[in-house]
Amino acid sequence: MARLPLAVVTGGAGFIGSHTVDALIAAGYRVCVLDDFRTGKRANLAQHAGSDKLEIVMCDVSHGIFAALAPVTAQHGPVERIVHLAAQVSVVASVANPLVDMAVNYGGTLHVLEYARAHGVKKVAFASSAAVYGDVATLPVAEETPTQPVSPYGIDKLASEYALDYYASVHGVATTALRFFNVYGPRQDPSSPYSGVISIFADRAKAGRPLTIFGDGLQTRDFVYVGDVVRAIVAAVSDGNSRLVANVGTGNEITVLELARTVVDLCGGKSTIDHAPARSGEILKSRARVDRLRDQLGVVAETKLVDGLRATLA
């Protein structure tokens, strides 16, 4: 049998990562997950138990990835493509602990890029964030908008984008940075106060417990379903583009208050909604311009919020 192309997914045991692994295996790749399981879970990859198409290697990417990948490449051949998702993902956690955030998020990206340079990896696709924009005057926000991050997390995602650009222009490593907006869907872990809002609201509303909104709830987000995000990731890591930066969102926004009411309604209306003080480092409004996603990556995020919420709640 011909050797399958090898793709590495850092953070592959996490929420977006495990869906990415599913899609890459379905697309004909052999996949190696590098994860240190700080938030990821082996259970997210249990559907591949016994498969010879998935290797899972415990590795903290902020300490380097050469040694972790050496036995895998000795057996399966060179790494062709890397999806780099491993990161500390909470904006408010980055405000509380900026040093850890920078070391993991920016440091991890540098280690991935060094590997890609040294081993001639054909493509690196990176999970950047809408947080690089900060608070912008005009929505939807296009990729050309000047970036002005307002959190350590936004700063280290932007620094990682600069590093991608440097490795592309100076060392010829082909890269794409995907600026994810607010991703949601099954397998998003609700267990931490720093978890994504939809995972927390869904978990609480299913149990009939109160939902807490930080601030007045009039802040908006562009919530994009994980299945749509994964199509963008697979396109980005497989194509021949380099130095592309693209938003990954729907082009729609909803207030957190309206989101809370929708989730409560979908769960039978038992939960109350309270308010707590707004969190620092957060942006107020967010909505993606998605022309580049469509034109350069051929992806339109088509899952309606209510359908995505139903799939998440199920």
Q: Cβ-count burial of 224 within 10 angstroms (0-12 exposed, 13-18 middle, 19+ buried)?
A: buried
Task: State the nearest-atom distance from the C-beta of 178 to ligand NAD, in Å.
Answer: 8
> How far is Cα 287 from Cα 58, in angstroms, rounded to an integer?
36
Quickly list DSSP for 138-188.
SSSBPTTSPP---SHHHHHHHHHHHHHHHHHHHH---EEEEEE-EEE-TT-
11 binds ligand NAD (CB under 6 A): yes
With beta carbons less than 8 A apart as the criterion, state whether 18 and 86 touch: no
Single out the catalytic residue among 29, 115, 153, 184: 153
Is residue 197 involved in binding ligand UD1 (CB under 6 A)?
A: yes
**212 lines the binding site for ligand UD1 (CB under 6 A):** yes
Name which position in 230, 246, 256, 290 contacts ligand UD1 (CB under 6 A): 256
The binding track of 188-217 with respect to ligand NAD, each residue x by CB under 6 A or -, is --------x---------------------
Interface pattern 49-68 for ligand NAD (x via CB under 6 A): ----------xxxx------
Contact call for residue 130 and ligand UD1 (CB under 6 A) = yes
Residue 213 sits in the site that holds ligand UD1 (CB under 6 A):
yes
- Answer with the entry of ligand UD1, ligand NAD, none that 200 interacts with (C-beta below 5 to 8 A by kind): ligand UD1
Binding mask 112-131 for ligand NAD (x = CB under 6 A): ---------------x-x--
Examine residue 289 and tell whether it contacts ligand UD1 (CB under 6 A): no
Binding to ligand UD1 (CB under 6 A) within 137-196 occurs at: 180-182, 194-196
Amino acid at residue number 42: R
For the bound state, the minimum distance from the C-beta of residue 274 to ligand NAD, rounded and expressed in Å, comes to 23
162 is catalytic: no
Nearest CA-CA partner of 228 in 112, 124, 307: 307
Residues touching ligand UD1, count (CB under 6 A): 23
Residues labelled catalytic: 153
Which residues contact ligand NAD by CB under 6 A? 10-11, 13-17, 34-40, 59-62, 85-87, 89, 104, 108, 127, 129, 180, 182-183, 196
User: Contact positions toward ligand UD1, by CB under 6 A?
Assistant: 89-91, 129-131, 180-182, 194-197, 200, 212-214, 219, 221, 256, 279, 282, 286
